[in-house]
Structure 1
Amino acid sequence: MKKVTILLLMLSMAFIANAQQELPTFPDVKIEDLKKKEYAKDSSAEAYIMMNYGNGWVYKNSEGGYEIAYQYFTRIKVLKKSAFERATKTLFLYKDDNQQNIETIENVKGKTYNFTNDGITIEELDPKDIFKGKYDKSYDKVSFTLPKVKEGSIIEYSYVVRSPYPFKPKDWYFQYNIPCERSEYTFSSPTNLAYRILMQACEGKLSFDKCATADEYRTCQWLMLNVPALNREKYVANLDDYTRKIHFELAEYIVDGMSKPKNLSMDWPAFDKQLLIDEDLGGRISKISAFEATAQSLKSQKTDTLELAKEVYKYVQSNFTWDGNKYLFTKNPLKEVFNRKTGSGTELNLLLISLLRQVGIEANPVVISTREHGRIWKDYPMITRFNYTLAHVNIKGKDVLLDVTDRNLRWGLLPSFCMVGEGRLLINNKSQWLPIRTPEKSGEMINMEFTFGEKESELESQITYAGVGYQAIDYRTEYNALGKEKFAEKFRKKLSTIDKALVEFEGFSNTDTDVQPVIAVSGKITEGYSVVNGKIYLKTIPYDGTTEHPFVSIERAFPIDFTYPTEETITCKYTIPDNYAVVELPKAIRVTLPEDGGRFNFSVAQYQGGKVIVITSQIQLKKSIYGVDEYQAIRTVYDHIVAKHNEMIVLQKK
């Protein structure tokens, strides 16, 4: 540890926070590194980062304003062909709408090291292979590919990004989807700019963590060694929420001409007040004269508060179209949204709040961070951690959260991207955290019936899928998005072993969302079972079974997020020929989660003298989120599910 500390302190002497800085000298690539065939700490790794170095520094530009520069160096050992794509680096540089404040890149360099009979060969990145261009109105794109990469190569690249946005420095990531031997970062800023530095998933794992002030600059340095890969796993809302990283926020500043510092830090009451009066959020909620006639009409028809609220919700949901955007703040006045009949999710939900208030029902905004945006950090109020707004009403003592972006949703149901655990309810002097729960589950009932055909291995099949709750909504949404024919084709591909499958739909054309949607698929399976030594082998669950384990990792460092409570029931019925007898059947099993958190029931029954076999699989998960401490129990349940869904029924000729 002492050697590491000395190295970092020596490097810090070179970090004079100005417009130009040189990369420190890194160790040479060694032949023994090039000869390595695998990473000792993770033999499955396709590559690993040997060194990841970053340096961010804030400095004064020639006009007296502040900018920020980032200097990066990365060295990667390539072990397998699947890692060749890591030789291509793509960067996105932000630019404002006026194209005045633009991020730029400079000093792009790269090398590929290979081992040959003559020793180490080095291929350098040719500047003509660095491609720059426009990506969209907000970003330019820069990409390059290092040359002559093969298994065993070591690649490295470095570059500097300059940004006119020093108020929100870029995050530093210690962790990626491949292991990292060494990751270090230095951040320097003038003492008149004070930054809040937040560590995520780094507690107790840093090998070095130190800040010091000298010559009116504050410099912080961090080092992390032997960082394991963070691989994408199933049932995670946002993997970035669990990645080891450092986040920066400008908390306070004072510049020339100011008599005292400007404090950007807020407590939650100040945060609530700011959003309630902001002209692009709470300040947008106002009476809309164009709605007056509709409001009066609805009020005259409905005397019950709940029924009136539902009518207003239905009116907005049916007459306005979501443009697909998710912003915390509005970009247009609600009057304009009303006239155009379209807007962002926040704009439509604020419109709903306005209309509810206009008919005499108290409604208020709830700000959230959507699933793809990441978790809210409740210790520190930061507006940047929020990106969406819902509507809230409390009717007859019951909290109801509303979103009008999806016309397939019923009263009180939210889109999946809003299922995030908590939101901040904004009410003058009474703001609070509000749990985001759903009164509905996601359920699916699959019924399969098979009878033996005239030819060997042939089965006649009839399969129905019935959606419940959120699964029904998903069916309707996809049906409306794809159209009947494309949606049918999706099921034909899913059940590809059914020859010329006939797909029929029930309950999809009805506008009443309480009607259960059903998909019926029928047809002949030419290779429906295997025959070995006169015995017939039938799959226990031939379609839609869980045949691959979703939780392969022995341990898991983050919760399991199923989005909603879920239920799945699969019933598989085989009618077998009279001249065959059952030799082997799977055994029934019942597995439960602790504290009644869910269960798996697998049953087998025979009817009509053994001629009819019925397999039933029921999976019930009563919670939407299971904690890390519940992972092993969930994993054990799925051990049994996968095992049972992969078992066979064995028949033999009498």
Structure 2
Amino acid sequence: MHINSTSFSIRCMTHFLLQCRLSCVVLWKVYVLSMLTFLSFNVAAQDDFKPKFGVVDRADVEMAAFQGDSSAAAVYLYDFGEVTYRYDDIRGLVMVMESWIRIKILKESALDRASVAINTYEGSGPENQELMDDIQGFTYNMENGQLVRTAMDRKSIKREKATGKYYTYKFNLANARKGSVIEYSYRRTTPLTVRDKPSPWTFQASVPSKWSEFRITIPFFLEYKTTMSGYLPLYISEQEPTDVHVGSSRLNGRGVAYRFVVKDAPAFVNEPFITTESDYLSKVNFELSVIQVPGEISKHFSNTWDDVEKTLNEANWFGVELRKSSFLKAKRDEIMQTAKTPEEKMEMAYRHLQSHMKWDGSSFLGSRDGVRKAYENKAGNATEVNLILTSLLRELDLNADPVILSTRSNGRFLKEIPLLESCNYVISHVEVAGKEYFLDATQPYAKLGLLPEHTLNGYGRLIPKKGSGRFLDIKPLDSQTKLEMVNANILPEDGSIKGNYSISFAGYEALRWRDKYVKEADDIYHEVLKKRSPEWKISNIAVKNKNEDLKGAVNVACDFELEDENASPDLFYFNPILAGRWESNPLKSKERIYPLDFTSGMSESFIGNYKLPAGYVLEEMPKAEIVSLPEKAGKFVYQVRQSGDMIQVSSVIVLSKTNFHAEEYHDVKEFFERVVQKHAQPLVIKKKAN
């Protein structure tokens, strides 16, 4: 009876897991940046660290600041997790996660770490419920020269309803204050019907970590695809065969024990020019690939991209919806009567969806209530909008297919790992006369082919109607482009500068401006312009081409007057970069281990034409500056010219490369620093001597 019960439970579990992989994959997310093969090697020569729960070093409690990062509010002294598997007569196969955290509190801002909240899933029936038990903790303080340990009051543990089928266990570490060391441990038991893989183990946090360790022992009947992501090296990486006692004679046997350690991990700082935090954090991930129980049919969960495409094309929420296009026939006929070329068909279809539908801001694969309903409601998620666009393009006899991708906030798209759950967005791909176009109709103010910045994340996968798909390089069509101009008179005797100013927004700068201000009243942007230059007296603001021609730039012009109360009639100082000035370097860190991702190229230009009054001259002509990044990745040109009573100042900053390796960080930082230095340089106008 015991063996039969086990067999029945395992069959139910494998069936459940298979169904999850086929029908529920859109709900899961996995982020992986780089692939590493974990090799077993001898670490006997390395310093190991195996503390004892309930016992801390006096030096850790006395520590006033962390030597590796004096700004740290806290530091993980020990962060440990271990996963094992066992068989339960009621719950079937379960994962058991033992966790142990020890933290040094260095600043009062980190005291919230002494209040712990852990979510658990509790579905219907014990076989679908996670259990939390063996919660214990201590706080350590120095009092009158003595190390004092305070145990956590178990009565402080609370179990509260969260949302849906989730509950939260909450507890507080007693007597925690600045200078304390706190530690706690707990055990979480998760049926494999709830989750078939361990949660990713992250070796980095928002504060430094001296020792982060993860262990897992995988029994012979489970196979996982193990991947490592991030930029920190493993201090220890071990694997060794071992005997595994799961608790069932059919399931006991051999297995493999893994141990991964990262030592002295710096705090993760959310630096500028990255995609999303999860792309950079060092972590280990597991994906179930095979479950093979003796006497039962093995189940393989590893997908190929062909499997992904087949799943999508057959899914009711994707491929089936893509083929429901009868509601578009009237619009198709209307376009066919007007358009004379395939390019016109494409543009008219794109413009129609842009104006007809409103994106609701959500990003996931699949249609909620069907594309027809979304079209009738004139609103839908990104997948619905662009599936409808693709269907309309196909109705117009154009070669159009959807492309799945991962947005920047969702994490990198990895060609090496065919997982639907890593994708959360759809755009449309069209081929006309041998030329490829990427279209996204969620953006009402984007010109044809200009993808929104959140989609510019490396690659996508084309899902064709027939045949095999392919990977596509999702590159920006345009740059972030601004041109600012000032034409002004220098009036030293009045201590003022008077003239007119204009700015032109193109490419992604135009899209950003239109997204913010097209639907706003004119005075909203007028106030923004005035706040941007509070020292200016601005009048006669005019905006041209708000959205009349999306291919063209947005143009703003105004008159201005700038007064300097400290100016002297004999000597007049002013910074000629009156607008668009780089006042600080956006790259602050001395070192960086992460690459730079600028989303798209950049072009920022400033031209200032200044007329001097009679009797005044430029005291000294500044040297021209030309700074270039290697391989024509970027260029900064600064120049001052004088012709008669006219002074022209020009600054041009161009980044043509969008991604830089960490090894190139210092070059880019120095490039920006030279821009800041030159933009801070004043001109001096003086009165000619009689």
Q: How far apart are the structure 2 equivalents of 1:188 and 1:468?
A: 55
Give the Å deviation of 1:208: 3.5
- Indicate if the aligned counterparts of 1:505 and 1:517 stay in contact, CA closer than 8 A: no
RMSD: 3.5
Query: Secondary structure, in 3 states, of the residue corresponding to 2:317?
Result: coil
Q: How does 1:67-106 map to 2 (within 5 A)?
A: 67-84=94-111, 86-87=113-114, 89=116, 91=118
Query: Secondary structure, in 3 states, of the residue corresponding to 2:267?
Result: coil
Report the equivalent of 1:28.
Answer: 55
Change (3 A) 1:284 1:489: same
1:562 aligns with 2:598: yes
Q: How does 1:234-313 map to 2 (within 5 A)?
A: 234-254=272-292, 259-313=296-350
Q: How does 1:180-219 map to 2 (within 5 A)?
A: 180-201=209-230, 205-214=234-243, 215=245, 216=252, 218-219=256-257
- Indicate if the aligned counterparts of 2:386 and 2:440 stay in contact, CA closer than 8 A: yes
Give the Å deviation of 1:361: 1.4
Change (3 A) 1:140 1:648: farther
Give the Å deviation of 1:167: 1.6
Report the equivalent of 1:393.
Answer: 430
Q: How far apart are the structure 2 equivalents of 1:455 and 1:131?
A: 74
Change (3 A) 1:146 1:629: same
- The amino acid that maps onto 2:276 is N
Q: How far apart are the structure 2 equivalents of 1:234 and 1:2?
A: 40
- Indicate if the aligned counterparts of 2:480 and 2:600 stay in contact, CA closer than 8 A: yes
Q: How does 1:525-536 map to 2 (within 5 A)?
A: 525-526=562-563, 528=564, 536=572
Report the equivalent of 1:363.
Answer: 400
Q: How far apart are the structure 2 equivalents of 1:487 and 1:150?
A: 48
Report the equivalent of 1:644.
Answer: 678
- Indicate if the aligned counterparts of 1:452 and 1:460 stay in contact, CA closer than 8 A: yes
Q: 2:69 aligns with which of 29, 33, 42?
A: 42
Q: How does 1:52-201 map to 2 (within 5 A)?
A: 52-84=79-111, 86-87=113-114, 89=116, 91=118, 108-122=135-149, 150-164=177-191, 165-201=194-230
Q: How does 1:414-493 map to 2 (within 5 A)?
A: 414-427=451-464, 428-449=466-487, 451=489, 458-460=496-498, 462-480=500-518, 483-493=521-531
Report the equivalent of 1:343.
Answer: 380
Query: Secondary structure, in 3 states, of the residue corresponding to 1:614?
Result: strand
Give the Å deviation of 1:495: 2.2
Change (3 A) 1:238 1:59: same
Q: How far apart are the structure 2 equivalents of 1:574 and 1:153?
A: 62
Tell which deviates more after alignment, 568-577 or 312-321: 568-577
What whole-Å deviation, never above 9, does each CA across 1:414-467 have from its counterpart, x for those lacking one? 111110121111223331111112322220112235555798765546433210
Q: How far apart are the structure 1 equivalents of 2:122 and 2:176?
A: 33
1:220 aligns with 2:258: yes
- Indicate if the aligned counterparts of 1:253 and 1:261 stay in contact, CA closer than 8 A: yes
1:547 aligns with 2:583: yes
- TM-score after normalising by structure 2: 0.82
- The amino acid that maps onto 2:215 is T
Identity of aligned residues (%): 27
Give the Å deviation of 1:582: 3.4
Q: How far apart are the structure 1 equivalents of 2:113 and 2:683?
A: 46
1:354 aligns with 2:391: yes
Question: Looking at both structures, which has the greater relative contact order when contacts are Cα pairs under 8 Å and sequence separation is at least 6?
Answer: 2
Tell which deviates more after alignment, 613-622 or 508-517: 508-517
- Indicate if the aligned counterparts of 1:466 and 1:518 stay in contact, CA closer than 8 A: yes
- Indicate if the aligned counterparts of 2:502 and 2:556 stay in contact, CA closer than 8 A: yes
Query: Secondary structure, in 3 states, of the residue corresponding to 2:428?
Result: strand
Change (3 A) 1:207 1:457: farther
- TM-score after normalising by structure 1: 0.86
Change (3 A) 1:503 1:259: farther
Report the equivalent of 2:27.
Answer: none
Report the equivalent of 1:2.
Answer: 44
What whole-Å deviation, never above 9, does each CA across 1:235-290 have from its counterpart, x for those lacking one? 1112321221101111112469x731110012233333232322322232114222
Q: How far apart are the structure 2 equivalents of 1:58 and 1:360?
A: 55
Tell which deviates more after alignment, 40-49 or 528-537: 528-537
Query: Secondary structure, in 3 states, of the residue corresponding to 2:627?
Result: strand
Query: Secondary structure, in 3 states, of the residue corresponding to 1:355?
Result: helix
- The amino acid that maps onto 2:665 is Y
- The amino acid that maps onto 2:438 is L
Paired positions, count? 634
1:601 aligns with 2:637: yes
- The amino acid that maps onto 2:584 is E
Query: Secondary structure, in 3 states, of the residue corresponding to 1:2?
Result: coil
- The amino acid that maps onto 1:313 is Y
Report the equivalent of 1:618.
Answer: 652
Change (3 A) 1:300 1:620: same
Change (3 A) 1:519 1:127: farther
- Indicate if the aligned counterparts of 1:391 and 1:401 stay in contact, CA closer than 8 A: yes
Report the equivalent of 1:319.
Answer: 356
- Indicate if the aligned counterparts of 2:569 and 2:687 stay in contact, CA closer than 8 A: no
- Indicate if the aligned counterparts of 1:443 and 1:568 stay in contact, CA closer than 8 A: yes
Give the Å deviation of 1:65: 3.5
